[in-house]
Structure 1
Amino acid sequence: MRLSHGAYYLTAYIDGKQKWIPLGTDYASACARYAQLENIDDRGMPERKFSELANRFEADCFPRYSANSQRSYRSWLKPLRRVFGPVPIADIRQSHAARYLDASKYKVSANRQVSLLSVMLGEAVRWGWIDVNPLQKMRKHQEEERRRYLTDDELQRLVDAADFQMSRLIRIAYLTSLRKSDIVAIRWEDLEDNALTVTQQKTKSPVAFSLNGELGRLFDELRESQSNGCPYVFVNKRHTQVSDRTVDTYWWKVRDLSGVEDVVFHDIRRKRLTDLTTTHGEAYAQIVAGHKDRKSTARYYTPDVIKVDLPEK
């Protein structure tokens, strides 16, 4: 409840937007109206529904994340809203989340959704809506770590199967190890002083790549092919910035034409960081990746064979 210009108001989140509901100028009457609207329980705390939590989380917390993360979170929120929407968040237990996990056919997606639910309940604790996060240390489905290493031959087959722009996008993805969302966001103005400078959306880490050699040649070829004045390097048929989803569509076609099996776009980043770790060391690969923690870079390292030196007898 807030006091503003002599009147009391209840602030609520409706459809993701903050609304101020007038409660009157008399304090006692405003408190009574507040308790009625907020459905105060025996502990003197409002009985918040999950739908309210979802609305406020989307309005207040989404702006912290990259556009790509926001899209993922929004897609994970949809099934959570359907299941938990009318449920008071104070009543959510680990057993409910466990049943949610077990009921899903898509184990990895369910893991991500429950992880998001836990983050949201953590925010609810910060806002004073509940006392503790019931999903802390929640055990989820076991996931197999992806260990797919793209060989040089497979990468070349993908490049050969792609059209002019997509083939260069794939090579730039390999040379820079940038994520897809960062690549499609590259502007011509990011190429200055013989360097490509990018602030990665996920980690917020800036990294600069020299344009000497193949990387510079690829951008020169792309510049020569464009005459539309679009500020973005990679464009669609309407000569505007190409989207992640459009790149996905092209990628699926390239993958099918190349005959390379069990490959996703992110495997290009895994290959590059593995190659850099092998040739230049883990510290160098970490700088290129923009990771703050070496453990994050180490998860990408996928050698074909790990050699173990056994002690002599």
Structure 2
Amino acid sequence: MGRKATVNLNLPTGMRARKRKTRNGIVTWYYFDTGGKPRKEIPLGNDYVKACQKWSELLLQKLDKAHQVTFVQALQRYILEVIPTKKSKTQRENRYQAKNLNLFFGGNTPVLLEDIDAGHIREYFKWRHKAPVAANREIALFNHIWTYCRPAHWGYTSKESPSKDIKRNKEQPRDVYVEDYIYSTLYKYGCQDLRDAMEIAMMLGQRPCDTAKIHTDHIQKGVLTIKQNKTSHALRFVVTKRLQDIITRRAPHGGFLFLNNRKRKMTTENLRDRFDIARSLAIQNHPEHAEELAQIQFRDLRAKSATDKSLASSEEEASKLLGHASVNMTKKVYIRRTRPLMPFEHSDGEIAEQT
């Protein structure tokens, strides 16, 4: 058994990094280790991204000859080639999900793609029984990796995904609704940054990441345009007097509306920290509402905005506000209250006359 690597742990299996002295100083060159004795290494160049691409091509050639592709090998290629093309948040989530997939299908005896069947997927759900929702997301990633393994992409297998007919864990959509008195309580204990962010989140109904990135350059001729991070859908909002007041107060000379303590664009983490402080203060001072307050997160303001919009106008208008392509998504996940029903009442004396 060879020595366990202690450096360059980010490199995929079979890639080596070597320091080389050049006229411009020390440069890192990458090589593909073909294995065997004597060792043979194929140069991949000194550009990490291009080296990874060449590594994938050489690995594919090697695997094609052996016809012994494991899921872990396919996963490594997916991490190098596919995940970097996704949004930053999705990349972080996928890398975390990949660790669990690698742990289950890897280990001392990595499972061959051709040997994976529905039984493995059922066992995976049992293995991840303490995190049923996360297990659903991980198997969704497994399914996407398998799609790339099919003939239309990498050609590792012609089998359909073993997860195709396996029932996923049941998920319950979040149903927390921020009542007006709870909103007022949180607003009372929030700093000015949080108060303004809460108001804008309520007015525009956008995700925390899209709320935090608003810049005055996004406003042209009285219209604020927000390009959603998740969908790239561009929404246009009329800058009302109340919205303009907040913008003027926050960025009188232009720039991002929300800045952190270092005067840089505020992140969603910065926003969440401010919300957590306000919620803790609210719980301390209003223990009678502690249970309700403890459940609230900043992201719930998007659902409150959609719900209140639907009650004041319509579900279709609420869907447009959130930037959804289908009103069904808005109704299923974000509208958390319906219009109150009028109770049925007999006219005065009607029953008495019948008796």
- How high is the TM-score relative to the length of structure 1? 0.79
Name stretches of at least 5 consecutive residues in structure 1 with no aligned partner: 1-8, 24-32
Equivalent residue for 2:316, pick from 265, 279, 283: 283
Separation in structure 1 between the aligned mates of residue 114 and residue 227 of structure 2, nearest angstrom: 40
- Aligned match of 2:140: 115
Distance 1:137 1:198, change over 3 A: farther
Larger RCO: 1 or 2 (CA < 8 Å, sep 6+): 1
1:262 and 2:287 correspond: no
3-state secondary structure, aligned to 2:324:
coil
In 2, the alpha carbon distance for the partners of 1:262 and 1:304 equals 20
Return the alpha-carbon distance in structure 1 between the equivalents of residues 218 and 202 of structure 2: 18
Structure-2 change in CA distance of 1:250 and 1:21 (3 Å): closer
CA distance in 2, matches of 1:80, 1:181: 28
| Separation in structure 2 between the aligned mates of residue 22 and residue 204 of structure 1, nearest angstrom | 32
Q: Return the offset for 1:178.
A: 0.6
Within 5 A, what are the aligned runs for 1:147-226?
147-224=175-252
Between Structure 1 and Structure 2, whose CA radius of gyration is higher?
2
Secondary structure of the residue aligned to 2:295 is: coil
Q: Partner of 1:130 in structure 2? A: 157
User: In the TM superposition, what whole-angstrom CA distance separates every residue of 1:39-80 from its partner, at most 9, and x where no partner exists?
Assistant: 646xxxx33222332233233333553222222222222222
TM-score, reference length from structure 2: 0.71
2:53 equivalent in structure 1: 18
Q: Which residue of 1 aligns with 2:123?
A: 99
Report the Cα distance in structure 1 between the residues aligned to 2:246 and 2:95, rounded to whole angstroms.
35
Q: 1:87–1:246: structure 2 CA closer, same or farther, 3 Å change rule?
A: farther
With 86-95 and 132-141 compared, the bigger mean Cα shift is at 86-95
Structure 2: gaps of 5 or more residues: 1-41, 284-292, 345-355
Letter in 2 for 1:248: R
Aligned residue pairs: how many?
A: 282
Identity of aligned residues (%): 22
Give the match for residue 12 of structure 2: none
Query: What's 2:269 paired with?
Result: 245
Instruction: Determine the structure 2 residue equivalent to 1:52.
Output: 73
1:58-115 deviations in Å (ceiling 9; x for gaps): 3333355322222222222222222224332332222222222222222222221122
Distance (whole Å) between structure 1 residues aligned to residue 281 and residue 139 of structure 2: 37
1:103 maps to amino acid = W
Q: Deviations over 1:134-155 (max 9, x none)?
A: 1113212212222211111111
Q: Which moved more, 1:236-245 or 1:53-62?
A: 53-62
In 1, the alpha carbon distance for the partners of 2:223 and 2:56 equals 53
Distance 2:256 2:115 in 1: 48
